[in-house]
Structure 1
Amino acid sequence: MSRRQLVADAVCVIVALLVAFPLYWMVLSALKPAGEVLTRDPRPWTAAPTVDSFRRVLDVESFGRYFVNSTIVAVLVVACALLISFLAAVALTRFGFRGRTVLVVMLLVAQMVPVEALTIPLFFLMRSLGDVAPAFGLNRLGALVLVHLAFSLPFAIWMLRGFVAAVPSDLEEAAALDGAGRLRFTWQILFPLVAPGLVAVSVVAFIHAWNDFLFAKTFLISGVDNRTLPLGLLVFFKPEEQDWGAIMAGSTLMTIPVLVFFILVQRHLVAGMAGAVKG
């Protein structure tokens, strides 16, 4: 092995450790006794691990409800984003129409707008929308689904365009000669071929929807029935003292579904990211 390869491997290991350290510290803090969490001399280990912090989190009556709400929002965002972005990518790639280039550029520009700059306008928009469609108004999970979908679609469509464009048009012509219509070709041939891209899009959309705090805090302004997990952690932020052990335990429990989802799709995710770079 060359010296250059050794240096590259060492840099990769260092970067991986730096990325993994916050996760390690989160889990460690969740397992530490309360006295060790609040000490002024923190240590990167504990001699007396305990699950008391996890018990306090699970003892919260509405924690299960928060988990269900986060799951509903994330699943709906992923499902809608995959369907809409796939159809939009097909339309932008396979069909020629006036304004197509402008629309593609607008998708790219939309990704450059900071989320914080649109939060307040979206708040007033959702408040007005609630008068017409209550399911998408303030204090409703539908508002979160709609907003996350709006922010996920530009990236999803832009990524899937490369995958759809990579499928040769000769394949569609061959399918047409065999009697397959455009609809059948789209769902039975094209859809499986762009599956790696769909997986990559689903991971990004799921993580954004699952970990969101800003939009949840903005649009779910009252009540506890529709809170998501990030908002549920506010229970442990008390005016007089914060329960950091429970906060870290809740954060650890929040991370588990993301890790499980990532492990299940990691092979397809690597292929999807590679395809996006090529596209």
Structure 2
Amino acid sequence: MGETTQLRWLRRVGLAGFAVLVGLPLLVVVTTSLKPLADVDDAFRWLPSRLTLRPYVDMWSTVPLGRYLLNSTVVAGATTLLALMVAVPASYALARSRVRGRRTFILLLVATQAAPGLLFLLPLFVLYAELGDRSGLELIGTYPGLVLTDLTFALPFSIWLLTTHLESLSREVEDAASVDGAGTLGVIRHVVLPTAAPGIAAVGVFAFVLAWSEVLFASILTQGQNQTLPVGLHAYASQSTVYWNQLAAAALATSLPVLLGVLLGRRLLARDEL
């Protein structure tokens, strides 16, 4: 059944409305990043009367933005690497085995994504503080603590998504490799990894984006020079001045990795479906 004229116009109106809702705030952020601070503090204008790229230069010296960028890169990169190292074998076991409780376990993985992060904040903080007092292992204000925290959310998502992806792949090549004498590790290395590479890469991109943009735990578990970008951007607001133009410039510049990651993940999944 073809699309009716009414549905076509309803879809166009809906898309246009969505574009306006997304485009207007983005336009304000872009124009704010190109204004002198005096013009930002003045009466609001949709189009700036003066354009300057100075905020994109000053944003690096007003706060240690480079340090925050490095912290986010290290944390997100380590989280992604560890998530894939665990998720690939775990999802392969779930996708190819038929053990009792398998579906229940997968549902529990999905349920962890529905739980609010605030529910885990206090227990994790108390646990990390207790570990630091008893064993000397400092997890508050360090890279390992934040990576471990991000991993608790990125890993279930990665396992669930990759399990669904592996279930859609044919088992014929894997069975043939097993008949030829390849063990489980050999099948994973020589058959599963090459076949599922686009899906694994997409899962890695999503795990990276989750860790890169995490704010709640980073605001509690990081301090000073260990702060990540989402937390460090608050430093543009001081007691006397808020550098709105530099904040907008930094937000735009540091959101590019996330945007590129999402586009790459979407492209990889689309290519895998062909």
TM norm. shorter chain > 0.5 = yes
C-alpha deviation, 1:119, in angstroms: 0.9
Matched, 1:15 2:18: yes
The answer to whether the Cα contact below 8 Å between 2:236 and 2:242 also exists between their aligned partners in 1 is yes
C-alpha deviation, 1:128, in angstroms: 2.2
CA distance in 1, matches of 2:151, 2:126: 18
Q: Which residue of 1 aligns with 2:97?
A: 95
CA distance in 1, matches of 2:53, 2:28: 15
CA shift digits 1:212-258 (9 cap, x unpaired): 221111111x4x22111122222221123322112112211211222
Measured at CA, do residues 230 and 106 of structure 1 come closer, stay the same or move farther in structure 2, by a change above 3 Å? Answer: same
The letter for the 2-side match of 1:231 is V
CA distance in 2, matches of 1:269, 1:102: 26
Q: Which residue of 1 aligns with 2:245?
A: 245
CA distance in 2, matches of 1:184, 1:12: 48
2:178 to 167, 176, 179: 176
CA distance in 2, matches of 1:144, 1:91: 28
Measured at CA, do residues 250 and 94 of structure 1 come closer, stay the same or move farther in structure 2, by a change above 3 Å? Answer: same
C-alpha deviation, 1:167, in angstroms: 2.0
The letter for the 2-side match of 1:159 is L
Q: Which residue of 1 aligns with 2:205?
A: 203
Measured at CA, do residues 24 and 184 of structure 1 come closer, stay the same or move farther in structure 2, by a change above 3 Å? Answer: farther
Q: Which residue of 2 aligns with 1:84?
A: 86
1:26 to 26, 29, 33: 29
C-alpha deviation, 1:153, in angstroms: 1.5
The answer to whether the Cα contact below 8 Å between 2:202 and 2:264 also exists between their aligned partners in 1 is no
* Greater CA drift, 113-122 or 46-55: 46-55
Q: Which residue of 2 aligns with 1:64?
A: 66
> Normalising by structure 2, what TM-score?
0.88
The letter for the 1-side match of 2:233 is L
The answer to whether the Cα contact below 8 Å between 1:130 and 1:137 also exists between their aligned partners in 2 is yes
In structure 2, runs of 5+ residues without a counterpart are none
The answer to whether the Cα contact below 8 Å between 2:146 and 2:218 also exists between their aligned partners in 1 is yes
Q: Which residue of 1 aligns with 2:188?
A: 186
Identity of aligned residues (%): 32
The answer to whether the Cα contact below 8 Å between 2:110 and 2:160 also exists between their aligned partners in 1 is yes
2:157 to 149, 152, 155: 155
* Greater CA drift, 71-80 or 261-270: 261-270
Q: Which residue of 2 aligns with 1:229?
A: 229
Q: Which residue of 1 aligns with 2:255?
A: 255
The answer to whether the Cα contact below 8 Å between 1:167 and 1:190 also exists between their aligned partners in 2 is no
* Greater CA drift, 88-97 or 145-154: 88-97
1:109 to 85, 89, 111: 111
The answer to whether the Cα contact below 8 Å between 2:213 and 2:230 also exists between their aligned partners in 1 is yes
* Greater CA drift, 197-206 or 28-37: 197-206
CA distance in 1, matches of 2:210, 2:19: 22
Matched, 1:36 2:36: no
CA distance in 2, matches of 1:213, 1:158: 23
Matched, 1:118 2:139: no
Runs of 4+ in structure 1 deviating by more than 6 angstroms, as ranges, are none
Measured at CA, do residues 254 and 123 of structure 1 come closer, stay the same or move farther in structure 2, by a change above 3 Å? Answer: same
The letter for the 2-side match of 1:261 is G
SS of equivalent residue, structure 2 residue 226: coil
CA distance in 1, matches of 2:4, 2:97: 50
C-alpha deviation, 1:115, in angstroms: 0.6
Measured at CA, do residues 83 and 97 of structure 1 come closer, stay the same or move farther in structure 2, by a change above 3 Å? Answer: same
* Greater CA drift, 59-68 or 248-257: 59-68
In structure 1, runs of 5+ residues without a counterpart are none
C-alpha deviation, 1:102, in angstroms: 3.2
The letter for the 2-side match of 1:19 is V
SS of equivalent residue, structure 1 residue 111: helix
C-alpha deviation, 1:196, in angstroms: 3.1
* Greater CA drift, 117-126 or 260-269: 260-269
CA distance in 1, matches of 2:208, 2:24: 23
C-alpha deviation, 1:183, in angstroms: 1.4
Q: Which residue of 1 aligns with 2:268?
A: 268
| Paired positions, count | 270
